[in-house]
């Protein structure tokens, strides 16, 4: 049989590195690979991190980030980009300009702005730049605290759908508003997907698993959605598949032990 060359379906993840391997670039690469795409990466910051927390953050020099971006995008055919932690206005503006330069249109943006502790991880100046970047995204995937920061209002079970619509219409993008931070009254987690093109919403439900092994869930979700988009799924299908993948990875990892703190999800179901 004659060999025929085929292209990899490639996702570029732009995010910070987690030395513990649970979140950030490491979680992105695992998720993209597990979902069937090829992962390339640009590291915006290096963290000293484990299951107990972050002890140091070293931002990459802006010129080095630029060279990483150009090295990847000038050579690899990346049909999808996932964006995670962007720690400063300068980095956000660089990424914004680079997306224009290389005509990247398939973009999943996880607006990492609030730590698990509730602490704000982004300066006011950087937040303003991030808001200017959001309309370029195909999809943004905020959790509840991040969404509250973006629209300036409290979000509850009662206004979850309305908040997703408000976010999408204000920033001119589709939104997956993740409901995991809401108080648990059932054994079901509900996320709301707002689809900009059809101005409609979809409720996505999955079982809730009683475990602390959820470190890196947000990174893994946005990356898996990006992977499914790169494999030519439509947005609703990619989001649904990504939510199902992460939910299963949480289930498969709920009794695994890694370190002394909050462990990761089980990306490969091992």
Average pLDDT value over all residues in the chain: 93
* Cα–Cα distance measured from residue 37 to residue 218, given in angstroms and rounded to the nearest whole number: 18
Q: How many other CB atoms sit within 10 Å of the CB of residue 116?
A: 13
Tokens of 188: 């079901």
Residue range 151-176: mean pLDDT, rounded: 96
- Whether residue 98 is predicted with pLDDT greater than 70 in this model: the reply is yes
At residue 60 the predicted structure's pLDDT band, cuts being 50, 70 and 90, is very high
Query: By the 8 A CB rule, do 207 and 184 touch?
Result: no
pTM of whole model > 0.75? Answer: yes
Tell me if residue 204 falls in helix, strand or coil.
strand
Write down the catalytic residue from 20, 179, 218, 263: 218
pLDDT in tens, 201-215: 999 999 999 999 999
* Cα–Cα distance measured from residue 46 to residue 19, given in angstroms and rounded to the nearest whole number: 8
Write down the catalytic residue from 30, 82, 178, 241: 178
pLDDT in tens, 130-155: 999 999 999 999 999 999 999 999 99
* C-alpha separations of 15 from 91, 111, 260 in Å: 11, 11, 25
Helix 217-230 to helix 24-34 angle (10° resolution) is: 40
Active site residue 214: yes
Write down the catalytic residue from 47, 141, 190, 217: 217
- Whether residue 120 is predicted with pLDDT greater than 70 in this model: the reply is no
Active site residue 47: no
Write down the catalytic residue from 214, 240, 243, 263: 214
Active site residue 218: yes
Phi, psi of 172 (to 5 degrees): 55, 50
Sorted by where each begins, the domain ranges of the chain are: 10-253
Active site residue 216: yes
Q: What is the pLDDT of residue 31?
A: 98
Write down the catalytic residue from 30, 219, 242, 253: 219
Active site residue 168: no
Q: What is the pLDDT of residue 182?
A: 78
Q: What is the pLDDT of residue 1?
A: 56
Write down the catalytic residue from 216, 242, 253, 263: 216
Active site residue 131: no
Homologous superfamily (CATH) of 10-253 is Ribokinase (3.40.1190.20)
């Amino acid at each position: 049989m004659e060999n025929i060359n085929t292209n990899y379906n490639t996702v570029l993840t732009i995010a910070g590195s987690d030395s513990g391997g649970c979140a950030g670039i490491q979680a992105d690469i695992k998720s993209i690979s597990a979902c069937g795409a090829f992962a390339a990466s640009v590291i915006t910051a290096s963290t000293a991190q484990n299951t107990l927390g972050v002890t140091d953050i070293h931002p990459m020099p802006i010129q080095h980030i630029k060279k990483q971006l150009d090295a990847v995008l000038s050579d690899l055919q990346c049909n999808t980009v996932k964006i995670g932690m962007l720690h400063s206005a300068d980095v956000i503006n660089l990424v914004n300009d680079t997306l224009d330069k290389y005509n990247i249109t398939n973009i999943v943006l996880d607006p990492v702005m609030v730590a698990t502790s509730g602490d704000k991880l982004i300066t006011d100046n950087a937040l303003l730049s991030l808001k200017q970047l959001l309309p370029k995204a195909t999809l943004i995937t905020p959790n509840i605290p991040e969404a509250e920061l973006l629209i300036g209002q409290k979000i509850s079970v009662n206004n979850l759908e309305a908040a997703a619509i408000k976010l999408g219409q204000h920033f001119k993008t589709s939104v997956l508003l993740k409901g995991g931070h809401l108080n648990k009254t059932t054994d079901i987690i509900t996320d709301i997907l707002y689809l900009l093109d059809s101005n409609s919403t979809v409720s996505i439900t999955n079982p809730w698993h009683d475990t602390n092994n959820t470190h890196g869930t947000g990174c893994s979700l946005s990356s898996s959605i990006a992977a499914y988009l790169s494999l030519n799924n439509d947005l609703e299908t990619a989001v649904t598949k990504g939510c199902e993948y992460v939910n299963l990875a949480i289930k498969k990892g709920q009794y695994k032990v890694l370190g002394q703190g909050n462990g990761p999800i089980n990306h490969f179901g091992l």
